[in-house]
Structure 1
Amino acid sequence: MIRGLGGDVSRARLKAVLVAAVVLLASACASEEEPASSPAAAPTGIPGQDEIRHSPNMTLVANVPLAAPFDGPDDWGTDMAFQGRYAFVGNYGGFTVHDIGDPEHPKAVARVACPGGQNDISVSGDLLFLSVDEPRTDDTCASDAGDPAAAGAWEGIRVFDISDKTHPRYLKAVRTECGSHTHAVVPGRDAGTVYLYVSSPGPEPDTTNCRPPHQNISIVEVPVADPGQARVVAKPELFAGRPAGEEETGGCHDITVYPDKDLAAGACFGDGVLLDISDPVHPTLLQTVRDEKNFSIWHSATFDNKGTKVVFSDEMGGGMAATCLPSVSATKGADAIYTLTPERRLVRQGYFKIPRVQSAEENCVAHNGALVPVPGRDVMVQGWYMGGVSVWDFTDSAHPQEIAYFERGPLPPDLHLGGSWSAYYYNGYIYSSDITKGLDVLRLDDPRTDPAKAVRLEELNAQSQRPY
């Protein structure tokens, strides 16, 4: 979700990007391009308010609703991470720890109040990291929304000790330039160090923490044995030389790393980037790709398991718009599949967008997802906000197809943001963080994906890929 929309309307950091997104959304209505995908099933009509629909091979087996202290109007569920028998779910008000040892009977074992948009979340060993991308009055969990021009305004990374999953303990805060919208965990050269690649939009001239030019990311070094010493160790400039008119938009929305391949792919406000991360503190730019006809807000990236493809998503409209309409092309607000050549060059092959029409009252666009670990095939599960959860196969990069889905009908008229923020496959089940409904657990039963049930992971951060 884009900063400056939804729960954080007080800042204009992405004004230029969002204006471009509105223009592109309007032009999309006149498109005559053919759809780029085929449905798993052919539903007819729009579901009723909160009505559940799903393909025959997808079943909702559990839901854990949002609960106090996350029961306010802006306590939206956000991203997820997994470790052992636990799922960690971010929220604008903090985060929740769920015991998913019995996936069909999950239960919340801790709810930690620590407000800050958007609390993008990851875990590594006994440490948990939260991204805060809004100025706070200080770096504590008791802070309030702050004045971005104030000298003491804080935003960045918060670090928690989760050795006791029922009682997470706040350890450290690290201020990062322009805050932290998202981050990716990158292993160090030994087990004693992890790095965080911090993505944030900017610049914003009239602020304390986000002065121009901000054509960089921030890299935070975390000593595992002494996380209180975490600090920014590098701010590599990766985006200088953007086209005229875009120099004032910098940073990235999201970076996904694949350390086993020494690669990272970034969705970076106007373009996609491919990075060499063989030296994690000094990443180097390999290639920049653009799609000015179809993409407006490059949102996220996912490698295939072999590291020979990258899926980039476009969050057209910033997560607030209804882009899953017949009038909007299947190549806009969608995913783009790129192959990665042996020379490490990205070549676009095709697009995917959910084939199920949504109503004009439903925010719907490509959002967070990751691989379903099916050996020998390229399958992804992804959240589409009010478009629900989609499972799609891109083994044939030019002809991707949806093979399963789950969705709810429109929200009540007084609610304007909802649906699946993130959807990930973990140890036999799909978990979806629904913005207003809480944690959904879905079972996928399909001969094309059943081999994934044999793949077991000890930890999953979607932005930090590992081979399976």
Structure 2
Amino acid sequence: MASSPARPVPRRPSYRRGPAGLALAFATALTMGLLGPATASADQVPFESDAETSDNVTHVTNVPKSEAMDAFNSDLAFTGDYAIGGNYDGFVVYDISEPEAPRVVSEVLCPGGQGDVSVSGDLLYFSVDYPRAGDECGAPSVPTTDPDGFEGIRVFDISDKANPQYVAAVRTDCGSHTNTLVPGKDGEHDYVYVSSYSPSSRFPNCQPPHDKISVIEIPVDNPAEAALVSDPVLFPEGGNRSTSGCHDITAYPEKDIAAGACMGDGIMMDISDPAHPVVTDVVRDENFAFWHSATFTNNADTVIFTDELGGGGGAICTEEYGPERGANALYSIDGSKDDPGLAFESYYKIPRPQSETENCVAHNGSLIPVPGRNYFVQSWYQGGVSVIDFNDPENPREIGYFDRAPINEDRLVLGGSWSAYYYNGHVYSSDISRGLDVLRLTDPRMRVAERVTYDEFNPQSQPSYRPGRGHGR
């Protein structure tokens, strides 16, 4: 979910990835590159960690990237005993049934930008935000000015984890930088909220003002019929500063609410009608450079927004930038669902200064499911992974960490943890350049979280939890 580095040219200015246009779906499987397992299991070679950790965090293992999937790793989603890892060249399916020895089940070559992922039963929704010459996975890249370039959402059938099948594609205006799953209330449809931004009059499929998101409806029993059903304008009077769309949205379907990080604005939405979300509150913070992502507390009385100052490529965790820039902002949620109201409580930034050669800023994380308490695990690129206690939202503090040395001591090289999420007893961190890291929290305060299990977990489609509860369809 970062606004990331090194991308093909020509390319839009600012943080965005790429455009698209009209809705499209088709029934036949499409061409893609499927690679066999390429990475050795962690139990085949004794594992020695190269990271510094706090006493309550253990680096269990690392699964390095294969040579075939050598682009940047991005976000994660989880289903049963599997983690799905996005990549700028496609995605990787990991078997994590044994967290100490994960193995690669399949790798799908399907380039198209950062490859944000959401999983729903046997379906995978995959973001495309670099324009391609066609819908199929093997289509070459094309300029952003090409009116026929494809960007949007690709849909895969992952019922066979060793052999995912590409079954549909839907174009969306300005492509899909990120996507958020909202399950339909009828159990027969999924809705995917597509976030994208940075329009230009030069981009035929991404025209300004683009103060909207795209909503795709997918019949779960017939995903080839996936189609755009609405594109609600969230900022009818224009957003703050450079707001022109959203970077990311986190939904809390059980409570019919969502929080959007929309570049210059943070928003709350009513999603009781998932096809037609409605903005209920907007908040602005002049300290924030780029509203990036959001996470609710389990009881939805607080929301954490993140500020990706520098777009993920800057060394923002230095003493020069201080404790409040490129940080989290915690807001309490007051009032009703229809009129929630957001009240600022505090900022949080990792207390471990990083070097000038380490890109570091607030990025993706999730709650640690401890009922009645508020703990958060979060990636900070080369700042590593931070475990945060925010039970007092006015005074959040770090209580654990995982942190590697700089990739390069002499110059700034992009890397580090893109996403860090707690899932069924372990933390999984997607490292941009070094693969998948597995961490275990040994803090007694987190022990009860091990009794909370899920059948499926999309961090941007937030479930509620209690001990022993499973989550899924």
Contact 2:357 2:412 in 1 (8 A): no
Q: Which amino acid aligns with 2:173?
A: E
Question: Is structure 2 residue 464 aligned with structure 1 residue 467?
Answer: yes
Runs of 4+ off more than 6 Å:
none
Q: 1:191 to 1:245 in 2, by over 3 A?
A: closer
Any idea what SS the aligned residue of 2:398 has?
strand
Alignment TM-score, normalising by the size of structure 1: 0.89
Whose RCO is larger (CA < 8 A, sep 6+)?
Answer: 1
Number of aligned residue pairs: 429
Contact 2:12 2:198 in 1 (8 A): no
Q: 1:4 to 1:137 in 2, by over 3 A?
A: farther
**Aligned positions of 1:118-133 closer than 5 A:** 118-133=114-129
Q: Which amino acid aligns with 1:12?
A: R
Structure 2 distance, partners of 1:357, 1:154, is 41
Deviation at 1:5, TM superposition (A): 3.9
Q: 1:384 to 1:230 in 2, by over 3 A?
A: same
| Match of residue 158 from structure 1 | 154
Any idea what SS the aligned residue of 1:251 has?
coil
**Aligned positions of 1:55-66 closer than 5 A:** 55-66=54-65
Structure 1 distance, partners of 2:365, 2:321, is 22
State which of 101, 110, 116 in structure 1 corresponds to 2:112: 116
Gaps of 5+ in 1: 17-49
Gaps of 5+ in 2: 17-48, 466-473
Alignment TM-score, normalising by the size of structure 2: 0.88
Structure 2 distance, partners of 1:126, 1:203, is 33
Contact 2:51 2:59 in 1 (8 A): no
Structure 1 distance, partners of 2:412, 2:309, is 20
Deviation at 1:153, TM superposition (A): 0.4
Question: Is structure 2 residue 262 aligned with structure 1 residue 268?
Answer: yes
Bigger shift: residues 410-419 or 103-112: 410-419
| Match of residue 418 from structure 1 | 415
| Match of residue 184 from structure 1 | 180
Deviation at 1:202, TM superposition (A): 2.4
Bigger shift: residues 2-11 or 439-448: 2-11
Contact 1:4 1:12 in 2 (8 A): no
Structure 1 distance, partners of 2:220, 2:462, is 20
State which of 241, 245, 255 in structure 1 corresponds to 2:237: 241
Structure 1 distance, partners of 2:396, 2:3, is 30
Structure 1 distance, partners of 2:396, 2:240, is 34
Deviation at 1:151, TM superposition (A): 2.4
Q: Which amino acid aligns with 1:440?
A: D
| Match of residue 457 from structure 1 | 454
Question: Is structure 2 residue 144 aligned with structure 1 residue 148?
Answer: yes
Any idea what SS the aligned residue of 1:436 has?
coil
Structure 2 distance, partners of 1:80, 1:276, is 26
Deviation at 1:243, TM superposition (A): 5.7
Q: 1:54 to 1:4 in 2, by over 3 A?
A: closer
Any idea what SS the aligned residue of 2:60 has?
strand
Q: 1:88 to 1:190 in 2, by over 3 A?
A: same
Q: 1:171 to 1:241 in 2, by over 3 A?
A: same
Contact 1:433 1:439 in 2 (8 A): yes
| Match of residue 76 from structure 2 | 80
Question: Is structure 2 residue 460 aligned with structure 1 residue 428?
Answer: no
Q: Which amino acid aligns with 1:340?
A: I
Identity, in percent, stands at: 53
Q: 1:213 to 1:391 in 2, by over 3 A?
A: same
Structure 2 distance, partners of 1:198, 1:244, is 20
- 1:274-329 Cα shifts (integer Å, max 9, x gaps): 0011111111111110001x100000000000011100000000000001001112
Question: Is structure 2 residue 355 aligned with structure 1 residue 352?
Answer: no
| Match of residue 87 from structure 2 | 91
Any idea what SS the aligned residue of 1:212 has?
coil
Structure 1 distance, partners of 2:355, 2:412, is 14
Structure 1 distance, partners of 2:12, 2:95, is 38
Structure 2 distance, partners of 1:446, 1:338, is 26
Aligned alpha-carbon RMSD (Å) = 1.6
| Match of residue 292 from structure 2 | 299
